[in-house]
Structure 1
Amino acid sequence: MKIEINGVSYSYTESGQGQTVLLFHGFTGSKETWVNLIKNLEQNFHVIAIDLLGHGETDSPDSEVRYQMEHAAKDIHDLLEKKEIDSVHLLGYSMGGRLALYFALTYPSKIQSLILESCTAGLVTKDERLARIKQDDYLSLMILNEGIEAFVNYWENIPLFSTQKNLTSDSKEMIKQGRLNQSPIGLSNSLKGMGTGVQPSLWDELNQLNKPTLLVCGEFDEKFCLIMGKMNEKLKNSEIIKIPRAGHAIHVEQSEIFATIVSEFFLKREQEEISHDN
Protein backbone atom coordinates (compact mmCIF):
# COMPACT_ATOMS: atom_id res chain seq x y z
CA MET A 1 0.00 0.00 0.00
CA LYS A 2 1.07 3.59 -0.62
CA ILE A 3 0.25 6.85 1.15
CA GLU A 4 1.36 10.38 0.27
CA ILE A 5 2.89 12.26 3.22
CA ASN A 6 4.48 15.71 2.88
CA GLY A 7 5.31 15.14 -0.78
CA VAL A 8 6.75 11.66 -0.23
CA SER A 9 5.05 8.42 -1.26
CA TYR A 10 5.41 5.98 1.65
CA SER A 11 5.00 2.23 1.18
CA TYR A 12 3.62 0.10 4.00
CA THR A 13 1.83 -3.14 4.85
CA GLU A 14 -1.17 -3.34 7.13
CA SER A 15 -2.85 -6.38 8.68
CA GLY A 16 -4.70 -7.62 11.76
CA GLN A 17 -7.08 -5.87 14.13
CA GLY A 18 -6.86 -4.29 17.57
CA GLN A 19 -4.43 -1.75 18.98
CA THR A 20 -1.85 -0.60 16.42
CA VAL A 21 1.74 -1.85 16.43
CA LEU A 22 4.07 0.20 14.21
CA LEU A 23 7.37 -1.32 13.01
CA PHE A 24 10.55 0.57 11.93
CA HIS A 25 13.29 -1.44 10.15
CA GLY A 26 17.03 -0.73 10.20
CA PHE A 27 19.44 0.74 7.62
CA THR A 28 19.33 -1.24 4.32
CA GLY A 29 16.14 -2.97 5.55
CA SER A 30 12.48 -2.64 4.58
CA LYS A 31 8.99 -3.60 5.72
CA GLU A 32 9.84 -7.14 4.53
CA THR A 33 12.27 -7.32 7.48
CA TRP A 34 9.28 -8.00 9.72
CA VAL A 35 7.43 -10.73 7.78
CA ASN A 36 7.91 -13.42 10.45
CA LEU A 37 7.12 -11.06 13.34
CA ILE A 38 3.98 -9.77 11.64
CA LYS A 39 2.58 -13.32 11.38
CA ASN A 40 2.83 -13.53 15.16
CA LEU A 41 1.56 -10.04 16.00
CA GLU A 42 -1.37 -9.81 13.59
CA GLN A 43 -3.24 -12.44 15.60
CA ASN A 44 -3.77 -9.85 18.37
CA PHE A 45 -2.90 -6.45 16.88
CA HIS A 46 -3.38 -4.11 13.95
CA VAL A 47 0.17 -4.14 12.51
CA ILE A 48 1.71 -1.52 10.23
CA ALA A 49 5.22 -2.05 8.82
CA ILE A 50 6.57 0.93 6.93
CA ASP A 51 9.42 1.47 4.48
CA LEU A 52 11.32 4.41 5.97
CA LEU A 53 12.61 7.30 3.84
CA GLY A 54 14.98 6.15 1.10
CA HIS A 55 14.28 2.46 1.74
CA GLY A 56 12.24 -0.26 0.08
CA GLU A 57 9.39 1.08 -2.04
CA THR A 58 9.17 4.46 -0.31
CA ASP A 59 10.45 7.49 -2.25
CA SER A 60 14.11 8.55 -2.05
CA PRO A 61 14.16 12.37 -2.05
CA ASP A 62 17.22 14.04 -3.60
CA SER A 63 17.82 16.36 -0.62
CA GLU A 64 19.73 14.79 2.29
CA VAL A 65 18.14 17.38 4.62
CA ARG A 66 14.75 15.76 3.99
CA TYR A 67 16.01 12.62 5.79
CA GLN A 68 16.81 14.37 9.07
CA MET A 69 15.14 12.96 12.19
CA GLU A 70 12.76 15.87 12.66
CA HIS A 71 11.36 15.51 9.13
CA ALA A 72 11.25 11.70 9.19
CA ALA A 73 9.44 11.76 12.56
CA LYS A 74 7.00 14.43 11.36
CA ASP A 75 6.16 12.20 8.38
CA ILE A 76 5.27 9.34 10.73
CA HIS A 77 3.18 11.65 12.91
CA ASP A 78 1.30 12.94 9.88
CA LEU A 79 0.82 9.42 8.53
CA LEU A 80 -0.85 8.39 11.80
CA GLU A 81 -3.01 11.52 11.71
CA LYS A 82 -4.03 10.80 8.13
CA LYS A 83 -4.98 7.24 9.07
CA GLU A 84 -6.78 8.52 12.20
CA ILE A 85 -4.64 6.43 14.56
CA ASP A 86 -4.42 8.10 17.97
CA SER A 87 -1.50 6.13 19.42
CA VAL A 88 0.67 3.08 18.76
CA HIS A 89 2.90 0.46 20.29
CA LEU A 90 6.19 1.24 18.52
CA LEU A 91 9.09 -1.08 17.75
CA GLY A 92 12.30 0.08 16.08
CA TYR A 93 15.49 -1.77 15.15
CA SER A 94 18.94 -0.09 14.93
CA MET A 95 18.44 3.01 12.72
CA GLY A 96 14.69 2.47 13.11
CA GLY A 97 15.23 2.28 16.87
CA ARG A 98 16.93 5.67 16.87
CA LEU A 99 14.01 7.11 14.90
CA ALA A 100 11.51 5.38 17.22
CA LEU A 101 13.17 6.90 20.28
CA TYR A 102 13.24 10.36 18.69
CA PHE A 103 9.57 9.98 17.71
CA ALA A 104 8.58 8.87 21.23
CA LEU A 105 10.33 11.87 22.79
CA THR A 106 8.92 14.32 20.24
CA TYR A 107 5.34 12.99 20.10
CA PRO A 108 4.80 11.21 23.46
CA SER A 109 1.01 11.38 23.16
CA LYS A 110 1.26 9.10 20.11
CA ILE A 111 3.02 6.33 22.07
CA GLN A 112 1.46 3.60 24.21
CA SER A 113 4.66 1.61 24.64
CA LEU A 114 8.07 1.31 23.03
CA ILE A 115 10.47 -1.50 22.13
CA LEU A 116 14.01 -0.61 21.03
CA GLU A 117 16.14 -3.34 19.46
CA SER A 118 19.91 -2.85 19.23
CA CYS A 119 20.02 0.94 19.13
CA THR A 120 21.59 3.97 20.78
CA ALA A 121 20.42 7.35 22.03
CA GLY A 122 23.15 8.98 19.91
CA LEU A 123 26.79 9.96 20.26
CA VAL A 124 27.75 12.23 23.14
CA THR A 125 31.03 13.98 22.31
CA LYS A 126 31.77 16.23 19.36
CA ASP A 127 34.79 14.09 18.42
CA GLU A 128 32.64 10.94 18.29
CA ARG A 129 30.05 12.65 16.13
CA LEU A 130 32.64 14.10 13.70
CA ALA A 131 34.36 10.72 13.32
CA ARG A 132 31.03 9.02 12.61
CA ILE A 133 29.97 11.70 10.11
CA LYS A 134 33.28 11.21 8.29
CA GLN A 135 32.73 7.43 8.20
CA ASP A 136 29.12 7.77 6.98
CA ASP A 137 30.14 10.27 4.30
CA TYR A 138 32.74 7.77 3.09
CA LEU A 139 30.09 5.02 2.90
CA SER A 140 27.59 7.27 1.14
CA LEU A 141 30.19 8.05 -1.53
CA MET A 142 31.01 4.35 -1.86
CA ILE A 143 27.35 3.63 -2.59
CA LEU A 144 27.17 6.32 -5.30
CA ASN A 145 30.61 5.80 -6.84
CA GLU A 146 31.13 2.03 -6.62
CA GLY A 147 27.52 0.89 -6.82
CA ILE A 148 25.09 -0.87 -4.54
CA GLU A 149 26.61 -4.34 -5.03
CA ALA A 150 30.10 -3.29 -3.93
CA PHE A 151 28.59 -1.55 -0.90
CA VAL A 152 26.44 -4.56 0.08
CA ASN A 153 29.47 -6.89 -0.20
CA TYR A 154 31.31 -4.57 2.18
CA TRP A 155 28.35 -3.97 4.52
CA GLU A 156 27.43 -7.61 5.12
CA ASN A 157 31.01 -8.32 6.19
CA ILE A 158 31.37 -5.64 8.87
CA PRO A 159 31.92 -7.02 12.42
CA LEU A 160 28.43 -5.90 13.53
CA PHE A 161 26.87 -8.62 11.39
CA SER A 162 29.45 -11.39 11.92
CA THR A 163 26.93 -13.56 13.80
CA GLN A 164 24.70 -13.61 10.71
CA LYS A 165 27.22 -15.91 9.05
CA ASN A 166 25.46 -18.67 11.03
CA LEU A 167 22.07 -18.08 9.39
CA THR A 168 20.70 -20.50 6.81
CA SER A 169 21.69 -19.92 3.18
CA ASP A 170 18.10 -18.96 2.37
CA SER A 171 18.00 -16.33 5.12
CA LYS A 172 21.35 -14.85 4.11
CA GLU A 173 20.29 -14.70 0.46
CA MET A 174 16.98 -13.03 1.34
CA ILE A 175 18.76 -10.36 3.41
CA LYS A 176 21.30 -9.78 0.64
CA GLN A 177 18.64 -9.42 -2.06
CA GLY A 178 16.75 -6.98 0.11
CA ARG A 179 19.87 -4.83 0.40
CA LEU A 180 20.67 -5.07 -3.32
CA ASN A 181 17.15 -3.86 -4.18
CA GLN A 182 17.63 -0.58 -2.31
CA SER A 183 17.93 2.83 -3.96
CA PRO A 184 21.55 4.08 -4.03
CA ILE A 185 20.52 7.72 -3.52
CA GLY A 186 18.12 6.63 -0.76
CA LEU A 187 20.80 4.80 1.22
CA SER A 188 23.38 7.52 0.59
CA ASN A 189 21.08 10.29 1.79
CA SER A 190 19.86 8.21 4.71
CA LEU A 191 23.44 7.99 5.98
CA LYS A 192 23.96 11.73 5.53
CA GLY A 193 20.61 12.86 6.93
CA MET A 194 19.78 10.25 9.56
CA GLY A 195 23.16 8.73 10.46
CA THR A 196 24.26 8.34 14.07
CA GLY A 197 26.76 11.18 13.68
CA VAL A 198 24.29 13.81 12.51
CA GLN A 199 21.30 12.81 14.65
CA PRO A 200 20.75 14.82 17.85
CA SER A 201 22.03 13.15 21.01
CA LEU A 202 19.00 12.10 23.06
CA TRP A 203 20.80 11.05 26.25
CA ASP A 204 19.78 14.11 28.25
CA GLU A 205 16.14 13.66 27.26
CA LEU A 206 15.78 9.99 28.21
CA ASN A 207 14.49 10.79 31.70
CA GLN A 208 11.56 12.67 30.11
CA LEU A 209 10.17 9.48 28.60
CA ASN A 210 7.78 7.71 30.96
CA LYS A 211 6.14 5.30 28.51
CA PRO A 212 6.69 1.57 29.17
CA THR A 213 9.91 0.76 27.30
CA LEU A 214 11.65 -2.52 26.57
CA LEU A 215 15.29 -2.53 25.47
CA VAL A 216 16.44 -5.68 23.65
CA CYS A 217 20.03 -6.60 22.79
CA GLY A 218 21.83 -9.78 21.72
CA GLU A 219 24.44 -11.29 24.03
CA PHE A 220 27.09 -11.31 21.27
CA ASP A 221 26.47 -7.61 20.52
CA GLU A 222 28.47 -6.44 23.54
CA LYS A 223 28.79 -2.82 22.42
CA PHE A 224 25.05 -2.29 22.11
CA CYS A 225 24.23 -4.25 25.28
CA LEU A 226 26.54 -1.83 27.12
CA ILE A 227 24.92 1.21 25.47
CA MET A 228 21.40 -0.01 26.15
CA GLY A 229 22.30 -0.82 29.74
CA LYS A 230 23.20 2.86 30.19
CA MET A 231 19.96 3.89 28.48
CA ASN A 232 18.03 1.64 30.88
CA GLU A 233 19.57 3.46 33.83
CA LYS A 234 18.34 6.83 32.53
CA LEU A 235 14.84 5.82 31.43
CA LYS A 236 12.09 6.04 34.06
CA ASN A 237 9.91 3.11 33.01
CA SER A 238 12.12 0.59 31.24
CA GLU A 239 13.53 -2.91 31.38
CA ILE A 240 16.29 -4.58 29.41
CA ILE A 241 16.49 -8.12 28.03
CA LYS A 242 19.65 -9.74 26.69
CA ILE A 243 18.87 -12.49 24.18
CA PRO A 244 21.19 -15.55 24.22
CA ARG A 245 22.92 -16.68 21.02
CA ALA A 246 22.11 -13.48 19.14
CA GLY A 247 24.04 -10.56 17.73
CA HIS A 248 22.75 -7.22 16.42
CA ALA A 249 19.74 -8.38 14.37
CA ILE A 250 17.87 -10.39 17.00
CA HIS A 251 14.64 -10.47 14.99
CA VAL A 252 16.54 -12.42 12.29
CA GLU A 253 18.95 -14.50 14.38
CA GLN A 254 16.44 -15.58 17.05
CA SER A 255 13.17 -14.74 15.33
CA GLU A 256 10.86 -17.01 17.36
CA ILE A 257 12.21 -15.90 20.75
CA PHE A 258 12.08 -12.27 19.63
CA ALA A 259 8.48 -12.59 18.41
CA THR A 260 7.41 -14.12 21.72
CA ILE A 261 9.08 -11.37 23.77
CA VAL A 262 7.61 -8.58 21.61
CA SER A 263 4.12 -10.06 21.59
CA GLU A 264 4.11 -10.67 25.36
CA PHE A 265 5.32 -7.14 26.10
CA PHE A 266 2.68 -5.46 23.94
CA LEU A 267 -0.10 -7.77 25.22
CA LYS A 268 0.87 -7.00 28.81
CA ARG A 269 0.66 -3.25 28.10
CA GLU A 270 -2.75 -3.77 26.53
CA GLN A 271 -4.00 -5.70 29.57
CA GLU A 272 -2.67 -3.00 31.91
CA GLU A 273 -4.61 -0.39 29.94
CA ILE A 274 -7.82 -2.41 30.19
CA SER A 275 -7.33 -2.83 33.95
CA HIS A 276 -6.61 0.88 34.33
CA ASP A 277 -9.74 1.86 32.35
CA ASN A 278 -11.91 -0.42 34.50
Structure 2
Amino acid sequence: MEIIIQKRRYYVEVSGEGAPLLLLHGFTGSSETWKETITHLKRDYTCIAVDIIGHGKSSCPLEKEAYSIELAAEDMKALMKELGHPRFHVMGYSMGGRLALTLAVLFPKSVQSLLLESASPGLKTPEERQARERSDEALAERIEREGIESFVDYWQRLPLFATQNNLPQWKQQAIYQQRLRNSVIGLSRSLRGMGTGSQPSWWEVLPMLPMPVLLVTGTEDVKFTKIASEMAQLLPSAIWKEIKGAGHAIHVEDSEKFGTIIKEFLSHT
Protein backbone atom coordinates (compact mmCIF):
# COMPACT_ATOMS: atom_id res chain seq x y z
CA MET A 1 0.00 0.00 0.00
CA GLU A 2 0.96 3.65 -0.28
CA ILE A 3 0.61 6.26 2.46
CA ILE A 4 1.02 10.00 1.84
CA ILE A 5 2.70 12.02 4.61
CA GLN A 6 3.06 15.76 3.91
CA LYS A 7 2.96 15.12 0.14
CA ARG A 8 5.67 12.45 0.45
CA ARG A 9 4.60 9.01 -0.78
CA TYR A 10 5.70 6.00 1.26
CA TYR A 11 5.37 2.41 0.11
CA VAL A 12 4.44 0.10 2.99
CA GLU A 13 4.12 -3.68 3.32
CA VAL A 14 1.97 -4.86 6.25
CA SER A 15 1.78 -8.52 7.24
CA GLY A 16 1.01 -10.62 10.29
CA GLU A 17 -0.96 -9.86 13.42
CA GLY A 18 -0.18 -8.80 16.96
CA ALA A 19 1.83 -5.94 18.42
CA PRO A 20 3.07 -3.48 15.75
CA LEU A 21 6.72 -3.69 14.67
CA LEU A 22 8.11 -1.07 12.27
CA LEU A 23 11.02 -2.34 10.13
CA LEU A 24 13.50 0.12 8.58
CA HIS A 25 15.99 -1.10 5.96
CA GLY A 26 19.54 0.04 5.20
CA PHE A 27 20.98 2.27 2.48
CA THR A 28 20.31 0.85 -1.03
CA GLY A 29 17.74 -1.51 0.50
CA SER A 30 13.94 -1.57 0.55
CA SER A 31 11.09 -3.26 2.39
CA GLU A 32 11.92 -6.38 0.32
CA THR A 33 15.03 -7.01 2.40
CA TRP A 34 12.90 -7.94 5.45
CA LYS A 35 10.90 -10.72 3.74
CA GLU A 36 12.74 -13.62 5.39
CA THR A 37 12.74 -11.92 8.79
CA ILE A 38 8.99 -11.31 8.54
CA THR A 39 8.32 -15.03 7.98
CA HIS A 40 9.74 -15.64 11.48
CA LEU A 41 7.79 -12.81 13.14
CA LYS A 42 4.39 -12.45 11.46
CA ARG A 43 2.62 -15.05 13.62
CA ASP A 44 3.09 -12.86 16.68
CA TYR A 45 3.62 -9.34 15.33
CA THR A 46 2.12 -6.96 12.79
CA CYS A 47 5.22 -6.33 10.68
CA ILE A 48 5.22 -2.94 8.95
CA ALA A 49 8.09 -2.69 6.44
CA VAL A 50 8.55 0.72 4.86
CA ASP A 51 10.57 1.90 1.86
CA ILE A 52 12.47 4.82 3.40
CA ILE A 53 12.36 8.10 1.45
CA GLY A 54 14.52 7.86 -1.68
CA HIS A 55 14.37 4.06 -1.76
CA GLY A 56 12.26 1.36 -3.40
CA LYS A 57 8.79 2.54 -4.40
CA SER A 58 8.68 5.58 -2.08
CA SER A 59 9.06 9.20 -3.21
CA CYS A 60 12.42 10.52 -4.42
CA PRO A 61 12.11 14.29 -3.93
CA LEU A 62 14.68 16.59 -5.51
CA GLU A 63 15.31 18.78 -2.46
CA LYS A 64 17.93 17.59 0.04
CA GLU A 65 15.83 18.86 2.98
CA ALA A 66 13.22 16.16 2.37
CA TYR A 67 15.83 13.54 3.31
CA SER A 68 16.83 14.82 6.76
CA ILE A 69 16.80 12.04 9.32
CA GLU A 70 14.71 14.10 11.75
CA LEU A 71 12.03 14.71 9.09
CA ALA A 72 12.07 11.02 8.14
CA ALA A 73 11.53 10.16 11.84
CA GLU A 74 8.56 12.55 12.00
CA ASP A 75 7.14 10.89 8.89
CA MET A 76 7.52 7.42 10.41
CA LYS A 77 5.67 8.49 13.56
CA ALA A 78 2.88 10.00 11.43
CA LEU A 79 2.76 6.91 9.21
CA MET A 80 2.38 4.58 12.18
CA LYS A 81 -0.36 6.78 13.64
CA GLU A 82 -2.11 6.68 10.25
CA LEU A 83 -2.03 2.87 10.46
CA GLY A 84 -3.56 3.00 13.94
CA HIS A 85 -0.37 2.42 15.94
CA PRO A 86 0.52 5.47 18.09
CA ARG A 87 2.92 3.26 20.10
CA PHE A 88 5.05 0.54 18.53
CA HIS A 89 8.28 -1.44 18.46
CA VAL A 90 10.84 -0.31 15.88
CA MET A 91 13.72 -2.25 14.34
CA GLY A 92 16.32 -0.73 12.03
CA TYR A 93 19.35 -2.00 10.15
CA SER A 94 22.38 0.23 9.45
CA MET A 95 20.94 3.49 8.00
CA GLY A 96 17.51 2.30 9.11
CA GLY A 97 18.98 1.75 12.56
CA ARG A 98 20.11 5.37 12.70
CA LEU A 99 16.60 6.38 11.67
CA ALA A 100 15.05 4.08 14.30
CA LEU A 101 17.30 5.57 16.97
CA THR A 102 16.38 9.09 15.84
CA LEU A 103 12.71 8.14 16.15
CA ALA A 104 13.32 6.90 19.70
CA VAL A 105 15.25 10.05 20.65
CA LEU A 106 12.67 12.48 19.26
CA PHE A 107 9.52 10.53 20.19
CA PRO A 108 10.36 8.26 23.16
CA LYS A 109 6.71 7.92 24.20
CA SER A 110 5.86 6.40 20.82
CA VAL A 111 8.61 3.76 20.85
CA GLN A 112 7.85 0.74 23.05
CA SER A 113 11.18 -0.92 22.32
CA LEU A 114 14.13 -0.25 20.02
CA LEU A 115 16.01 -2.93 18.07
CA LEU A 116 19.22 -1.91 16.32
CA GLU A 117 21.09 -4.16 13.90
CA SER A 118 24.60 -2.99 12.97
CA ALA A 119 23.70 0.63 13.71
CA SER A 120 25.35 3.68 15.24
CA PRO A 121 24.32 6.91 17.01
CA GLY A 122 26.32 8.89 14.43
CA LEU A 123 29.75 10.47 14.75
CA LYS A 124 30.95 12.01 17.99
CA THR A 125 32.72 15.20 16.88
CA PRO A 126 31.95 18.03 14.43
CA GLU A 127 35.27 17.32 12.70
CA GLU A 128 34.33 13.67 12.11
CA ARG A 129 30.91 14.68 10.81
CA GLN A 130 32.36 17.27 8.42
CA ALA A 131 34.85 14.75 7.03
CA ARG A 132 32.10 12.16 6.55
CA GLU A 133 29.81 14.71 4.92
CA ARG A 134 32.53 15.43 2.36
CA SER A 135 32.95 11.70 1.78
CA ASP A 136 29.19 11.21 1.36
CA GLU A 137 29.05 14.13 -1.09
CA ALA A 138 31.81 12.56 -3.19
CA LEU A 139 29.91 9.27 -3.22
CA ALA A 140 26.65 11.03 -4.18
CA GLU A 141 28.44 12.72 -7.08
CA ARG A 142 29.81 9.33 -8.15
CA ILE A 143 26.26 7.91 -8.30
CA GLU A 144 25.12 10.87 -10.41
CA ARG A 145 28.14 10.59 -12.69
CA GLU A 146 28.32 6.81 -13.19
CA GLY A 147 24.75 5.62 -12.63
CA ILE A 148 23.11 2.99 -10.45
CA GLU A 149 24.63 -0.18 -11.92
CA SER A 150 28.21 1.04 -11.58
CA PHE A 151 27.56 2.25 -8.04
CA VAL A 152 25.88 -0.99 -6.91
CA ASP A 153 28.83 -2.99 -8.31
CA TYR A 154 31.16 -0.80 -6.24
CA TRP A 155 28.93 -0.89 -3.14
CA GLN A 156 28.64 -4.69 -3.05
CA ARG A 157 32.44 -5.05 -3.19
CA LEU A 158 32.97 -3.06 0.01
CA PRO A 159 34.70 -5.08 2.79
CA LEU A 160 31.66 -4.36 4.97
CA PHE A 161 29.66 -6.85 2.88
CA ALA A 162 32.40 -9.45 2.28
CA THR A 163 30.63 -12.14 4.33
CA GLN A 164 27.69 -11.99 1.91
CA ASN A 165 29.93 -13.71 -0.66
CA ASN A 166 29.20 -16.89 1.32
CA LEU A 167 25.48 -16.67 0.57
CA PRO A 168 23.92 -18.89 -2.12
CA GLN A 169 24.24 -17.39 -5.59
CA TRP A 170 20.46 -16.94 -5.96
CA LYS A 171 20.33 -14.86 -2.79
CA GLN A 172 23.29 -12.70 -3.83
CA GLN A 173 21.57 -12.10 -7.16
CA ALA A 174 18.29 -11.17 -5.46
CA ILE A 175 20.09 -8.58 -3.30
CA TYR A 176 21.83 -7.20 -6.37
CA GLN A 177 18.61 -6.89 -8.37
CA GLN A 178 16.80 -5.23 -5.47
CA ARG A 179 19.55 -2.60 -5.16
CA LEU A 180 19.40 -1.90 -8.89
CA ARG A 181 15.71 -0.96 -8.54
CA ASN A 182 16.69 2.17 -6.64
CA SER A 183 17.21 5.50 -8.43
CA VAL A 184 20.10 7.90 -8.93
CA ILE A 185 18.12 10.78 -7.39
CA GLY A 186 16.95 8.74 -4.40
CA LEU A 187 20.34 7.31 -3.43
CA SER A 188 22.38 10.46 -4.05
CA ARG A 189 19.94 12.63 -2.08
CA SER A 190 19.78 10.05 0.72
CA LEU A 191 23.55 10.24 1.11
CA ARG A 192 23.41 14.02 1.29
CA GLY A 193 20.42 14.27 3.59
CA MET A 194 20.51 11.12 5.73
CA GLY A 195 24.18 10.17 5.64
CA THR A 196 26.14 9.65 8.86
CA GLY A 197 27.86 13.01 8.32
CA SER A 198 24.66 15.03 8.07
CA GLN A 199 22.73 13.54 10.98
CA PRO A 200 23.04 14.78 14.60
CA SER A 201 25.19 12.81 17.00
CA TRP A 202 23.02 10.96 19.52
CA TRP A 203 25.83 9.63 21.73
CA GLU A 204 25.08 12.01 24.62
CA VAL A 205 21.35 11.20 24.49
CA LEU A 206 21.76 7.41 24.88
CA PRO A 207 21.75 7.44 28.73
CA MET A 208 18.34 9.15 28.66
CA LEU A 209 16.49 6.62 26.49
CA PRO A 210 13.78 4.99 28.64
CA MET A 211 12.79 2.04 26.43
CA PRO A 212 14.38 -1.45 26.28
CA VAL A 213 17.01 -1.63 23.53
CA LEU A 214 18.38 -4.65 21.67
CA LEU A 215 21.74 -4.32 19.89
CA VAL A 216 22.65 -7.03 17.36
CA THR A 217 26.01 -7.26 15.59
CA GLY A 218 28.05 -9.89 13.75
CA THR A 219 31.48 -10.82 15.05
CA GLU A 220 32.99 -10.33 11.58
CA ASP A 221 31.79 -6.71 11.54
CA VAL A 222 34.57 -5.27 13.70
CA LYS A 223 33.61 -1.60 13.35
CA PHE A 224 29.99 -2.01 14.42
CA THR A 225 30.86 -4.53 17.12
CA LYS A 226 33.03 -1.84 18.74
CA ILE A 227 30.23 0.74 18.38
CA ALA A 228 27.70 -1.64 19.97
CA SER A 229 30.08 -2.29 22.85
CA GLU A 230 30.24 1.44 23.58
CA MET A 231 26.49 1.90 23.17
CA ALA A 232 25.71 -0.97 25.54
CA GLN A 233 27.63 0.78 28.31
CA LEU A 234 25.66 4.01 27.88
CA LEU A 235 22.11 2.73 27.41
CA PRO A 236 20.13 2.25 30.67
CA SER A 237 18.27 -0.87 29.47
CA ALA A 238 20.20 -2.63 26.73
CA ILE A 239 20.86 -6.22 25.66
CA TRP A 240 23.67 -6.85 23.19
CA LYS A 241 23.75 -10.01 21.09
CA GLU A 242 26.74 -10.97 18.92
CA ILE A 243 26.23 -13.46 16.10
CA LYS A 244 29.33 -15.55 15.54
CA GLY A 245 30.61 -15.59 11.98
CA ALA A 246 28.09 -13.01 10.73
CA GLY A 247 28.92 -9.69 9.12
CA HIS A 248 26.98 -6.46 8.75
CA ALA A 249 23.59 -7.72 7.47
CA ILE A 250 22.74 -10.48 9.93
CA HIS A 251 19.05 -10.59 8.93
CA VAL A 252 20.19 -11.53 5.41
CA GLU A 253 23.04 -13.86 6.35
CA ASP A 254 21.24 -15.87 9.04
CA SER A 255 17.55 -14.92 9.08
CA GLU A 256 16.51 -17.86 11.28
CA LYS A 257 18.94 -17.06 14.10
CA PHE A 258 18.18 -13.37 13.73
CA GLY A 259 14.42 -13.98 13.92
CA THR A 260 14.83 -16.13 17.04
CA ILE A 261 16.78 -13.37 18.81
CA ILE A 262 14.19 -10.75 17.85
CA LYS A 263 11.25 -12.87 19.07
CA GLU A 264 13.00 -13.63 22.36
CA PHE A 265 13.67 -9.94 23.01
CA LEU A 266 10.19 -8.76 22.02
CA SER A 267 8.49 -11.39 24.17
CA HIS A 268 9.91 -9.65 27.24
CA THR A 269 9.02 -6.05 26.30
* Bucket of the pairwise TM-score, normalised by the shorter protein: over 0.9
Query: Could you report, residue by residue, the CA deviation over 1:250-274 in whole angstroms, capped at 9, with x for unpaired residues?
Result: 00111110011011111222xxxxx
* 1:259 counterpart = 2:243: no
Residue pair 2:115, 2:214 contacting (<8 A) in 1 also: yes
Q: 2:11 is matched with which residue?
A: 11
Report SS of the residue matched to 1:268: coil
Report SS of the residue matched to 1:109: coil
Query: Could you report, residue by residue, the CA deviation over 1:166-208 in whole angstroms, capped at 9, with x for unpaired residues?
Result: 1110111011001111011000000000000110000000011
Q: 1:233 is matched with which residue?
A: 233
Provide the TM-score with structure 2 as the length reference: 0.98
Mapped partners of 1:134, 1:165: distance in 2? 29
Shift, 1:125, TM fit:
1.7
Query: Could you report, residue by residue, the CA deviation over 1:106-147 in whole angstroms, capped at 9, with x for unpaired residues?
Result: 111111111100011110122211221111111111111110
Q: 1:82 is matched with which residue?
A: 82
Mapped partners of 1:112, 1:210: distance in 2? 9
Mapped partners of 1:141, 1:4: distance in 2? 29
Q: 2:40 is matched with which residue?
A: 40
Mapped partners of 1:142, 1:104: distance in 2? 32
Mapped partners of 1:83, 1:214: distance in 2? 24
Q: Could you tell me which amino acid in structure 1 is paired with residue 245 of structure 2?
A: R
Mapped partners of 1:115, 1:148: distance in 2? 30
* 1:140 counterpart = 2:147: no
Structure 2 unpaired stretches of 5+: none
Mapped partners of 2:167, 2:83: distance in 1? 37
The number of residues matched between the two structures is: 269
Q: 1:72 is matched with which residue?
A: 72
Query: Could you report, residue by residue, the CA deviation over 1:36-88 in whole angstroms, capped at 9, with x for unpaired residues?
Result: 11111110111100000000000101111110011101111111222221211
Report SS of the residue matched to 1:12: strand
Mapped partners of 2:129, 2:105: distance in 1? 21
Residue pair 2:40, 2:256 contacting (<8 A) in 1 also: no
Q: 1:273 is matched with which residue?
A: none
Q: 2:109 is matched with which residue?
A: 109
Percent identity over the alignment? 47
Mapped partners of 1:149, 1:83: distance in 2? 35
Provide the TM-score with structure 1 as the length reference: 0.95
RMSD between aligned residues:
0.8
Residue pair 2:143, 2:184 contacting (<8 A) in 1 also: yes
